[in-house]
Structures are given as C-alpha cells and as structure tokens.
Chain A
C-alpha cells in the first residue's frame, strides 16, 4: 500500500511536467501541423537561464540564493523561452509550413541541438543543483511527510499543484481570451482566420514561445528536487511528445492527463509494477516509447486526410 502511494505521488509530480510539455506539443501541432523538436531544449534553456541569473554557473548550496534574485531569474528564464521560441518559429518553422517537411524537421532539430550545445558549452559540469524558490526542506521531516506509510516529498505537492494551475490557466486563456480564440480559429482554419483579421504569424509565434515557457515554469519548480543536466530538457521534450502521441495531439486536458498517466506508469514500472515483476524495472522508459510508436502506426489519422 505504501509503495502504491509512493508511486502515485512520484508519478504525478513527474507526470505534471510531462503533461505541460505534452500540452505544448499538442497546441503547436494543432496550430501549424508540425512537431517542434526543439521544445525540450527550449525548456532546458529557460531553466538554465533562471539558474544563471539567480546563482551564476558556480557551485551553490540551496541557501545562497535570495528571494528577489530568484524571482528575477524566473522572469528572465521565462522571457528567454518566449523570445527564443518565437524567434525559432520565424527562423525554422514558418518558411516550411505546408511546403517541405524535411525543412522544418531538420530546422527544429538543428535548433534543439544548437540550444543543447550552447548550454553544454556554458554549463560544463555534468549536473546542477537548482536553487529552491520555496524552502520545502523546512516543512515536515527535512522536506518529507508520511502519508499512509509512504514518505512523500513535500515538493511533489507543489509541482503537481503548479502543473495543474498552469494547465488551468492555459485552458482559461484558450477558452476566454481574444488570444485563445485566435489560436483556436487558426487551428481550425488558418486561411479563414487570416481573412477575418487575425495576425496568423504573430499569434503562432507567440504560441511557440508560450508553449516552452509554461513547461519551463513547471521544470523550475521541480528541478531542485534532483540534479538537473543540460540534457534533461531533451528527455522531457521526448516524454511530452510520447504523451501527446498517446492522445493523438488531442485537446489540452487530454494531453495533460496523458502526461500524468505516463508519469505514473513510468513510476509503477520503475518499481517493477510494485514489486510483482522486478524484471520490468529496467524497461520503464522503453515500454511507453514502444507503445507510442505502435499506436502512431496503427491508429488512423485524426486530422488531414493523406490522399488528396
């Protein structure tokens, strides 16, 4: 029982981040019909800019960062995400939409690898401890509470909470604001949206920026829990893509739910399905990937028909 509780909380806090990345992938796919392969590295960029502004590239202990500098760091990180994400849209996506798939595939991959390499050059240690925006270690027993016999990190609650809040905010923006209505109009019919006076390019570019920023926010909250590497973002981008594929780039909440489910399944597999099949633990990342590939192949297309 305690193991199951542990799995659920660990899984949900990892899955919350996956879910936000999945929302980003899903939104971008519906807006433009492409997949932004640079999304994960964009998220890492946001997180590392936050680290740079808040603490520099030096080793740090979690006490060394003041609240004001941390806030400044978060703002700088998210802004970088928006700017680079939007610039990336104009540079490597917009010229190829509907024309050359190889163009945007290669372009977004190149952008991702370029960001990753810049991070590698600037942050040369294998892994970084992130400053803690909220001092969870003062809560409970050194940041842990016991629920139904399971030791849960207090941070998990915050990560899950922030993820749900950000998803809810994104949903509100999509449903209630002029920007959200423009996005939905473009997703339905880009030409039609342009005819009624929506600036399609600017709206899409902003969405590309925000897609990275919302996931980066969750990463910044989650990162202090474990060492964060320059390559961690790439892996998050992949997990989010897997979740988005599982729901065929569906709506916002289904993408988020898929992310949560992926997190829990990974956690459950990681314990060897709660200890019943210990051999499965090594396959915790492989099985969801394989399932996603198979589903991608066998399920019919949701949007545009291929022939004609």
Chain B
C-alpha cells in the first residue's frame, strides 16, 4: 500500500519535473546544447587543424573562466584572483601526484579542494568590503601566489617547475583528446550549474546584492555568506581546471599562474559575457583566435608571439568596454530575441493571504547612537503594537533615519535594547532581524536595476525559504520545487497588497517613483514580517499616489502588522497613524496618542 503510494507520488513528482523542464526550455537552451555538442565533436571535425593538446588546454581555460563567471557574473564581484586559484589547484595536484599513487581525477579533486579552501579564506576576508577593496585584495592575492611560486623552490620545484607523472583519468589513458573531452564536459556541467543557480533563489539574492547593497541588506539578504560561497565555488572550479591542466602539460610551470592568467580569465569572462553561461567559453575561443593572430604578427615582426598576445587581449577588452561593455554572447542573444520574442510565461495567481504570520510587539528602550561628539539618537524608547501605525516625524537631522537604522540593524546601537515578542534582537545583524520578523524599506532609491517587479518581491520571499540553498537548487529537489510555488505565491500576494500585481513581469526600472516606493513595501511584505518600518513612502508621490498609499497603510494596519512610518508628509501621517512621535535633536519631544489628529 505505502509502496504503491510512494510510487504514485514519485510518478507525480517526475511528471511535474518534466513539465517544469519543458516550460523552462527555450531557444537559448537549444543553442547552448548545440554549442556543447559542437564542442564535443570539434577535434574530429577539425581533423588536426588545431593540435589536440592546444584544444584541451583551451577547454580547461574555459572551465576556469566559467568558474570565475560565478563571482563576476552572478555575484558582481571584481575578482582578480582566479589565476591564483588555478595555480593552487595545479601545484597541490602536482605535489599529490608526485608523492602518492592516487588516480589523476582524485589528485585534481584534491587540488580543487585546496583551491576552494583558499577561495573560502579569500571570500571571508573580502566578505564585507566594497568593490575597490575586493579588487585590490584579490589582485594582491594573485601576486602573493605568483611570487610564492617564483621565490620558493620547495613549493614550485624552482625555475624548471615540477614534473608530474602520468596517471589514468577515470580509467582512461590520458591522451590530449581524453583531456579535451573531459574539459568540455566539465565546462558544460559548470555552465548548466550557472544557469540553474542564476534562475534560483541563490542567483536572485546575488543579483540583488550586486545591484543595490543597501536595499538587499534591508531585505535581509545574507550578503556576506553569499559572497563567501561564490568565492569558494569559483575557486573550486578554478582549482579543478588547474589540477587537470598540470596533468595535460606533464609539468607544473611556476610562471604560468600569475597575474597574466588572472587577467586573461577576466578578459574571457567580460568579452564573452559574464551573465551568459557559455559566455566565458566563447571568450576563451576568442582568446584562442587572438593567440593565432599574435603568432601571425610575431612571425611578421620576427619576435615571439608571446609579446603580442597580451597587447591584443588588452586592446580587445578595451574595445569591448568602450563600446558599452556589450559582451559577445549577450549581444547575440539580444539580437536573436529581436527576431523571435520570448514566450509569454503562464499567468500565476496569488494563493497566500497577506496576513502577518504572528502578531508581536516590538519594544525598543533607551536607544543611543553617537557619531564622535554628536549624539544623533539620544535615549529613544518606543513600542510598536500589532495592528497600529506609529508615525515618526521631526525636522531634518532630528535622527529619524538613524532610529530606523538602529531598529533594522544596519547600524549598531551604542546603548539600548530592542526586543520583538519575547525575543531579544539587540546586537543581531539586519539579516537575522528580518528572519525574526522585523524589516524596513529604504527611502526612494533605484532598486535592483535589472530585476523585474516580481523578482523584487521574490528576493523578499526568499527570506522565508528553507530549502533554497545552492545545492538544493542544483539538484532541484522536490522540496525545492514545491517551495518555488509557495515563494512565488507569497511574492504575488505582496504585489497585490500594494497594487502592483499587474506589473509583475515588467522591469522594475520602468516603474514610476511612487511605484518603486510601493514595490519596496511589497518586497518587505514578502519577507512575511510582523513589524514593518517604512521610510518616506510618499517621496516623489503625486496626490493620487498619496491616496493609494493611505489605503495600503490602512489595510496593513487592519491586517495586524505593526507599522512604523517615517514621513515628512504630515497629512499622510495624521490620516493613518494611531500615535505620532516627534523627534528633536535625537530625543522624543512629544508622544501624541490621539488618533486622527
């Protein structure tokens, strides 16, 4: 009986998976599949035009570049350390090959794990830095590894490098052709993973974090953890490429994994396209053509091709950058879309209601924040009750926004305690407070420039997911897929609550100022909070928008949310607030408890 039920359930799950796969299939996917098959048969078709070992080296470079695209394309982080990760994988694998009898693939795996460890450390070091410092830090790391290989003979085997014994790869004799096909397959797998991750909650969070750190932080996206994960994964793939590359080359060359390699990989990613899964591979092919051109130029000038190659690569990158940074693959996809517009997605209905999951009291006592000698917030206490709106008003510089930031956790308080329900939130970071049910919106800002309206709300809805991690996304577990539907329903409900459900598939950048304010409220609502902190929702709103805002806030109140409304528009405040706190010079000057003044 139970076996029968299980069989039925498995059958249903499989059918659902097939349906969703069919729905997800697109022309781009067809093109990608054709490209991978073309790559697999390339050595047989090219028939010795290009040597197998050159092709194999290119395949491993494409693998390393696809790994880098995780950092650059998904996370939007300018990592210059991929060469260092490839080098780490290469030399660790070389040492293991020389000192053990393990098979080739195991040695490469050990190299990849070592690189992932270095990548995790690097990601941890730069987890909360701005892009300038990430670029500098990863650049210094690339040099650290290159100089270490150049100056430490025990590590690198001196100027002639480490000669590596040949081992079987997956039971096969490791000819260049075997290496090439392995490289193509791994690159294809990595590109598939990139596509799956980009479409899932993990990729959406990364995109949000890279497009607007402040807004992503306010919605509780755990940016530091995401960045460490992106670095670790990107380093793992780079290290794997390195560990296989040394077995192809039979020698680990200490000069091969320096800043130039990091730069070339970045060129491949940017020229081919960081967000398209096969972009990095196309970039590597372009680099291969450049190397042919360099050889021709070198023969003309009578000097070695190595002198021209970096110059041509640099010029190509500069050309791509100056023409607006339109990389090859995304440009081709855009051009193709002009002829065949993307299919409409099936319409979705909201299933979940917009009610808060729990009614809880937020209590803050004696909040103090000092900036040098100035006390921006000087002993503010407040309570936000479920089903009420509390207005927070005051002149510019009175500390309203600082209070919001202390409550939401983007700024640590010097003194004071914050509790929600029975739980102490004092000292917790913003992401943890969002998990606890306390979320804020940001003042009028461009949100995530490249996401659609629905995707904005999904970033919020992701905060309530339990099965949305990178690994579950990759294997697409049944729990993961079931939760997809829930998250989308919750996002839709939030959009309906602010009157944006009709706009779900439009790019958010097309919304009006007032639409963006409401979208930010929807994204916050989708996190399923108990308490909403709303910052200046009327900024840039026309009179009819104000009416809409009033309706929305009144409905939120009726549904049981505790709302703190920071507003300059006193008419709006008085229309919806049950209580009004007036701040002056960081202190509460008056607490007006008359409803509807």
Contact = CB atoms under 8 A, between A and B. Distances in A.
A64 B260 CA distance: 36
Given A35-B132, A293-B125, A238 B143 contact: yes
A12 interface: no
Contacts of A35: 132, 135-136
Contacts of A100: 325
Contacts of A297: 124-126, 129, 137
A292 interface: yes
A110 interface: yes
Nearest to B125: A297
A102 B72 contact: yes
B321 A307 contact: no
Contact of A293 (B132, B140, B325): B140
Contact of A296 (B137, B152, B301): B137
B314 A282 contact: no
Contact of A106 (B147, B266, B405, B442): B266
A1 interface: no
User: What's the interface size class on A, roughly?
Assistant: 35 or more
Given A124-B303, A124-B307, A308-B410, A296 B147 contact: no
B594 interface: no
A155 interface: no
B309 to A, nearest CB: 8
B311 interface: yes
Interface stretch (A3-11, A133-141, A178-186, A283-291): A283-291
Nearest to A35: B136
A113 B217 contact: no
B217 A307 contact: yes
B311 A117 contact: yes
A118 B325 contact: no
Nearest to B133: A296
Interface string B135-153: 1110111011001100110
Interface string B111-129: 0000000000000111011
B325 to A, nearest CB: 6
Nearest to B217: A307
B231 interface: no
Contacts, number: 139
A306 B148 contact: no
Given A121-B311, A286-B151, A306 B128 contact: yes
Max count, chain B CB within 10 A of own CB: residue among A34, A100, A105, A234 = A105
Nearest to A32: B132
A120 interface: yes
Contacts of B124: 297
A97 B141 CA distance: 24
B141 to A, nearest CB: 6
A304 B132 CA distance: 11
Interface in B296-316: 301, 303, 307-311, 313-315
A101 B132 contact: yes
B151 A282 contact: yes
B321 to A, nearest CB: 5
A114 B315 contact: yes
Contacts of A238: 140, 143
Contacts of A111: 314, 318
A198 to B, nearest CB: 23
A111 B131 CA distance: 19
Contacts of B325: 100, 103
Contacts of B129: 296-297, 301, 306
A117 B139 CA distance: 19
Contacts of A165: none
Nearest to A234: B259
Interface string A107-119: 1011101101110
B327 to A, nearest CB: 11
B434 interface: no
Contacts of A127: none
Interface string B405-429: 1000010000000000000000000
B143 A113 contact: no
A149 interface: no
Contact of A241 (B136, B266, B307): B136
A129 B259 CA distance: 26
Q: Which of A103, A286, A307 has the most CB of B within 10 A?
A: A307
Interface string B240-275: 000000000000000000011001001100100010
Nearest to B141: A293
Interface string A221-249: 00000000000001000100110010000
Contacts of A114: 310-311, 314-315, 318
A109 B266 contact: yes
Contacts of A29: 132
A8 B324 CA distance: 50
A308 B214 contact: yes
A123 to B, nearest CB: 10
A307 B322 contact: no
Given A101-B78, A117-B311, A121-B311, A296 B321 contact: no
Nearest to B153: A282
B140 A292 contact: yes
A289 B126 contact: no
Contacts of A296: 125-126, 129, 133, 136-137, 140
27 contacts: A34-B132, A35-B132, A37-B135, A37-B139, A101-B132, A101-B135, A102-B131, A102-B274, A106-B321, A107-B321, A110-B314, A113-B310, A113-B313, A114-B315, A117-B307, A117-B309, A117-B310, A121-B301, A121-B311, A124-B303, A241-B136, A242-B140, A282-B151, A282-B152, A283-B152, A289-B147, A297-B126
Given A121-B307, A289-B140, 5 more contacts: A37-B135, A113-B313, A283-B151, A296-B136, A308-B410
Top 6 nearest A-B pairs by Cβ distance?
Answer: A101-B131, A117-B311, A297-B125, A114-B314, A110-B314, A308-B214
